[in-house]
Structure 1
Amino acid sequence: MSSIEELKHLQISLQDISDATNNFAKENCIGLGGYGKVYKGESEKYGTIAVKRLSRNREEHSQGDREFKTEIALLSNYKHENIATLLGYCDEDGEKILVYKHESQGSLDKHLKSADLTWTQRLKICLDAAHGLKYLHHDVAPEHRTMHRDVKSANILLDENWKAKISDFGLSKEGPANVHSSFVISNACGTLGYIDPEYFYSGKLTPKSDVFSFGVVLFEVLCGRPAYVKVDRQFFFSWVQKHYKRQTLNTIIHSSLLEHSNLGSLLRFSTIAYQCLMNGEERPTMKKVIEQLQKALDHQLAPSRPWSHDDDYAALHQRQSRCVFPVKLLFFTLI
């Protein structure tokens, strides 16, 4: 990982950022988080930009100097179509600012409830994000891999063509690659509702911790609701797990998807999403997740009848499981 001293070429002056955002004008503020505010700006050199301005009061935000430097060092080395593009940074006059390419459709969490976002679009967005996570887990370098630690729909950005990009790497950790069952001990962090319970209680961070969080995102996409909102006084992931086991997912799937979605696609998608939430060793890798999501997309694009409200979900779920899933996974599908 590059040190920030090696990345001076990425520095952008505070004056240039101020000019691009009209001196951080209120009307240009497009986001607010624990770290501070995000502004939209127009730069002569970079075009439309997103400016993350960390709060100057260090007690008010969760990202400090270490996270600021981590994000710069990591994103300056990551080149992938499904990873957010860092254009530069500013560390001047007490300001710590990160500058990204602006993605015009914003973050995925803003679109979960939308009836206009079709099932095909949702599948492609999930596939894009999965490719981004696979890159982190397997392809960033031969000697190490990266665990994101804060995978959630709010950290998946969408460009003008609805292509997804993983963002917000301030909490990310690197670990050794190609070592069986390797893990990193760290204080559990992330966003409640998305954090892997095993990581939360043990502090053992592995790529499978991200897989759990991504499984939560998959169910957010399927159900059209954010995971940070508890349901029936329980975490969202516990709620969807119960519905999956009872084979009643059809009662909580986003209503606009049921009439226009291929049955096989929905079943394959929900099965891989559920497997992401299983115990750590039983969870799939991101390579396996991509394989199953691609098959879900292939089912959706194939000529076949859509879901019907008259369908018996339990019977169809079992029949589909027997037909298309490996015998090894059948037990997990039917419990």
Structure 2
Amino acid sequence: MSPMNEFDHLKIRLKDIKEATENFGIDRKIGGGGFGPVYKGKLTLSTGRRAVVAFKRLDPRFGQGNTEFWKEIMLLSDCKHENLISLLGFCIEGEERILVYEYLSRGSLDRYLSNPRMTWNQRLKICVGVARALTYLHDPRKTQRRVLHRDIKSANILLDAEWTPKVSDFGLSKVAPANQPRTYVISNGVGTPGYCDPVYIETGFLCKESDVYSFGVVLFEVMCGKLCCEYRNGQLINILVPRWKICCDKNKLDNIICPGLKEQINRDSLVTFSAIANRCLSRNFEVRPTMAEILKNLEVALEQQNFNPENSALVDISKLAIPRISYTSHQELHSRLSKGILIDGGQTWVSVNKNGRIREMISAVKCVSGGWFVSDTADDSRSFNSGEPTQQHTISSLNFPPLQTNRRVVGLVRQVEGPKKERIVKTLMSLKMEREEKLRRMRDRMVIGGTELKFLECGFRFRVMRYKYMWSINVLKYIKKIYVNKKIN
């Protein structure tokens, strides 16, 4: 039995194709490429569903034949991914060789490069989708086969009605083992001028880094809003890739970016995007990133584009961190803040929970020796200073929306009046004077950690609540247990 028989379920009759395309009528033709012309028509699939599909008809005059025809059938039957074109069937009758694909209504990416209505955000999403497809081809999980596309270009990236990209045209692809960190295939250099890796053209060494170079060219096309090659009267007159790389190396991106995109691109997003695109074009294979690395950077660039730091309370908090924290995305910033940071000279610890609520803890040193207690001559007793703290870098000074701050009191808090209040405050003042030196020595380890954290859990809310004459009985117990040997009567 022929190994090709396993694909019999995908066979479609030539009669049905001719009927769908009105015998390959000129009105049904929607494009063409190195394989041959492409037609559009309605066809009843093997599932019984009637759908609009695309028919790619082999024309041997363009240089491809049976080898490329069967290669595409075998690869697309085995490789399934949301960002790869779906093969629905094929026809092989007499001299006819026809491939049947899902129909993607928006056509190929190259048609939209110079269109200012395609936003930078849309372009980033398209690039992310293509990177996911190539990552899948280069690093398969279920098979031991690595697919090297060899003809990555904007004309081979098709878009559906929702702008979802699909990589197509696998006729020139090569299959290599995937169980090695580097896979080389010796072959004649083929591909499209401008997109093809110059090292591959010069040496015949094909590897996954060759696809990386081609994808890097596509990234520059997306950013610059034009094709990488200039033609006149059907003749290639100029390849723009070297100039693009020089401008990127010299940090002169403004000279090459599509004018319609300049006003909408977030600067951080542009830096991330251009840096990874530039690495793709390096002649040194060791410098070129993997597709997995490219995908990660493009996802960061997309998140940076959608991230507005001017309206984010989290960014305001991060600016107060000691030491300053760095991050590349909103998700990473939230992750860092969820673990907690020190602000206010190391006297306050702040964290953000998964619901975006802000939690503040104040050092015991700050509470006891930070000027929060003053004399009250009106009733000859001690009370909390109702004024603002001397340090202004506090959560309460950032003017967050009310829902963003959790104002629940942690621990037992109640108002203390009369002689008992006077005894407590007097003891605290005595503690401050008598233990000032000890507290200074303990300052570093008292900020947060261990049992001190329990103390802060119980006591930090009085600062946010700003209730006069209020203190937690539990706080006093922890002060007694941790910081003083004196008994509080």
CA displacement at 1:304 relative to structure 2: 4.7
| Contact 2:230 2:237 survives alignment (8 Å) | no
Spell out the pairing of 1:165-244 with structure 2 (5 A cutoff): 165-229=166-230, 234-244=238-248
2:24 counterpart residue number: 24
C-alpha displacement at 1:178, in angstroms? Answer: 2.3
Q: Secondary structure at the match of 1:76?
A: helix
List per-residue Cα deviations over 1:125-172 (Å, max 9, x = no partner).
000000000010001644220000000000001011000010000000
TM-score by length of structure 2 reads: 0.60
What is aligned with 1:333?
A: none
CA distance in structure 1 between the partners assigned to 2:3 and 2:302 by the alignment: 40
The 2-side partners of 1:75 and 1:142 are apart by: 14
**Counterpart Cα distance in 1 of 2:9 and 2:243:** 48
Which residue does 1:287 correspond to in 2? Answer: 292
Q: Distance in 1 between matches of 2:19 and 2:245?
A: 49
Q: Is the 8 A contact 1:133 1:286 kept in 2?
A: yes
Pair 1:132-2:139 in alignment: no
Q: Post-superposition shift, 1:229? A: 2.1
Asked whether the 8 Å contact 1:140–1:146 carries over to 2, the reply is: no
Identity of aligned residues (%): 47
Q: Tell me the distance in 2 between the aligned counterparts of 1:3 and 1:256.
A: 52
Which residue identity lines up with residue 214 of structure 1 in the other structure?
F
1:230 shift after superposition:
6.9
In structure 1, C-alpha distance between the alignment counterparts of 2:207 and 2:155, rounded to whole Å:
21
SS at match of 2:84: coil
Output the CA distance in 2 between the equivalents of 1:12 and 1:204: 38
Secondary structure of the corresponding residue to residue 75 of structure 2: helix
Give, in angstroms, the shift of residue 233 of structure 1. 5.9
* 2:253 pairs with 1:252: no
Change (3 A) 1:3 1:112: farther
* TM-score for the superposition, normalised by structure 1: 0.87
CA distance in 2, matches of 1:262, 1:103: 30
Question: Which residue of 286, 300, 303 corresponds with 2:308?
Answer: 303
Flag the structure with larger Rg.
2
Q: What CA distance in whole angstroms lies between the structure 2 residues aligned with 1:198 and 1:41?
A: 41
Q: Kindly tell me: are residues 267 and 114 of structure 1, through their superposed partners in 2, closer, same or farther at Cα, counting changes over 3 Å?
A: same
Q: Counterparts in 2 of 1:1-335, with a 5 A limit? A: 3-45=3-45, 46-55=50-59, 58=60, 60-139=61-140, 141-229=142-230, 234-278=238-282, 279-304=284-309
Deviation at 1:33, TM superposition (A): 2.0
Compute the displacement of 1:323 (Å): 8.4
CA distance in 1, matches of 2:279, 2:80: 29
Answer whether contact 1:4 1:72 (CA < 8 A) is retained. no
Shift of 1:234: 4.7
User: What runs of 5+ residues in structure 2 fail to find an aligned partner?
Assistant: 311-325, 329-489
Per-residue CA deviation, residues 74-100 of structure 1 (Å, 9 max, x unaligned), is 001111000000000001121100000
Letter in 2 for 1:7: F
Amino acid at match of 2:171: G
Seen in structure 2, the aligned counterparts of structure 1 residues 293 and 196 have a Cα distance that, compared at 3 Å, is same
- Structure number with greater CO (CA < 8 Å, separation at least 6) is 1
Name the Cα RMSD after superposition: 2.1
Post-superposition offset of 1:4? 2.9
8 A Cα contact 2:127 2:219, kept in partner:
yes
> Alignment partner of 1:97: what SS?
strand
- 1:174 and 1:140, CA in 2 relative to 1: closer, same or farther beyond 3 A? farther
Shift of 1:245: 1.4
* 2:62 match: secondary structure: coil
Structure 1 stretch 212-221 or stretch 279-288: which is displaced more?
279-288
Q: Distance in 1 between matches of 2:27 and 2:143?
A: 44
Query: How far off its partner does 1:277 sit?
Result: 0.6
Stretch of structure 1 that moved more, 39-48 or 162-171? 39-48
Do the aligned residues in 1 keep the contact of 2:183 with 2:208 (CA within 8 Å)?
no
Query: In structure 2, what is the Cα distance between the partners aligned to 1:131 and 1:248?
Result: 29
Contact 2:229 2:238 in 1 (8 A): no
- Could you tell me how far apart the structure 2 residues matched to 1:6 and 1:204 are? 33
Q: Number of residues paired by the alignment?
A: 305
Instruction: Look up the match of 1:328.
Output: none
The Cα shift of 1:204 comes to 0.9
The answer to whether the 8 Å contact 1:199/1:209 transfers is: yes
Alignment check: 8 A CA contact 1:86 1:100 kept:
yes
Contact conserved, 1:151 with 1:194, CA < 8 A, in 2?
yes
Q: Give the drift of 1:186.
A: 1.0
Letter in 1 for 2:160: D
Tell me the SS of whatever aligns to 2:115.
coil
Report the Cα distance in structure 1 between the residues aligned to 2:143 and 2:90, rounded to whole angstroms: 27
* Structure 1: runs of 5+ lacking an equivalent: 306-321, 325-335
Contact 1:262 1:304 (C-alpha < 8 Å) held by counterparts: no
The answer to which of 263-272 and 176-185 deviates more is 176-185
2: distance between equivalents of 1:34 and 1:293?
30
For 2:469, the equivalent position in structure 1 comes to: none
